[in-house]
Structure 1
């Protein structure tokens, strides 16, 4: 039997899921949660095999709940069941550890098949969610620092620059001349498509480039 926990703040949705899943011989609904916090509490006591998780809920949303569940019980699967297919919801959900992402307009039979597929250890994404992920990956590949990677020394200079250091201070920290620092900064501006030190620092923070190369 596949033990399922339903987490959704809408009573009608929970009732509908419960009614249909009860017709499946290999599925048992072991509990219902009205929010993410309650979902975590029920996971701890009921130990389901998989959680059908809504995204937007009071107390704690589905993404935070998924993250905590996967941190404490990595063997428990989470299938997001939501109305949102935009990148602001899809990508964080997958990053939180969800094994599947389906929209609420899914046919009941397809939902059951998604549950079974995930229990076999395979991921299951709605086509719209897949498209969103692919678009996100394409945009990631198009980012300046991906297309024009910084050299280890340029990474070091950028890391020092984000600390608000002057060229002289950067030169002193890296044991190079100020002229060399200026050259590196010029290259950094070109590669990252930024106009000044502030833009470079903001870019570094946004894209996780605040650490040096370590070389």
Structure 2
């Protein structure tokens, strides 16, 4: 029995890349290219005037409307269309962000033709494509969002204020004056935070504050 043809749209701001990948994919009889677009804005215009693609190969960094916004728009308006993100980047942030925007998978532009075809067929059939790169990062994303406790959830308002002031050049005694508290109370805040956060120095407190965006200085 003949396999169902997979309709593809290619969205990328590099003309030569779009043309090259389209020619490459058309060598496979199971693939048809319904349109290509230079960015998410052009994709929005073209998708209404062409057969609906099964899979969109979506670049991330594009002018006007980037891959993140274009993917969100697609999933809101055409949820049946699968998005396979394409990028030069191997960093956690763009991969996780594209998956959160609704992409069903991610593949590097430097991948070979057989890997790309496998990714397209997999996402078309199963709605997702998880390779080693994506699965590890997706797992970390889920762990970060769901399992990791909020590091400042157990801190009191005064402890957070104390952490903010630790990022200044004020001494502990001066912090006590600013907070209208005794130096002894400030020492207690410091020691309690050392224990709660498993830290041993003011530098550790400052780094924690900066990493968790609770520094006003």
Question: Is TM (by shorter chain) over 0.5?
Answer: yes
Q: Which has the larger radius of gyration?
A: 2
Q: Is the 8 A contact 1:55 1:61 kept in 2?
A: yes
1:125 counterpart SS class: coil
What is the Cα deviation at residue 23 of structure 1?
Answer: 1.2
Q: Distance in 2 between matches of 1:26 and 1:142?
A: 41
Gaps of 5+ in 2: 162-190
2:103 counterpart SS class: coil
Query: For 1:33, which of 23, 30, 37 is the aligned residue?
Result: 37
Let me know the Cα RMSD of the aligned residues: 4.1
Query: Aligned in 2, Cα 1:126/1:83: closer, same or farther, shift over 3 Å?
Result: farther
- The corresponding residue for 2:184 is none
2:53 counterpart SS class: coil
Q: Is the 8 A contact 1:85 1:129 kept in 2?
A: no
Query: Aligned in 2, Cα 1:190/1:101: closer, same or farther, shift over 3 Å?
Result: same
- The corresponding residue for 1:119 is 124
* Equivalent runs, 1:32-181 vs 2, <5 Å: 32-46=36-50, 47-137=52-142, 143=148, 145=149
Gaps of 5+ in 1: 163-185, 206-215
- The corresponding residue for 2:183 is none
Structure 1 runs of 4+ off > 3 angstroms?
134-143, 186-196, 202-205
Equivalenced residue count is 187
* Equivalent runs, 1:176-187 vs 2, <5 Å: none
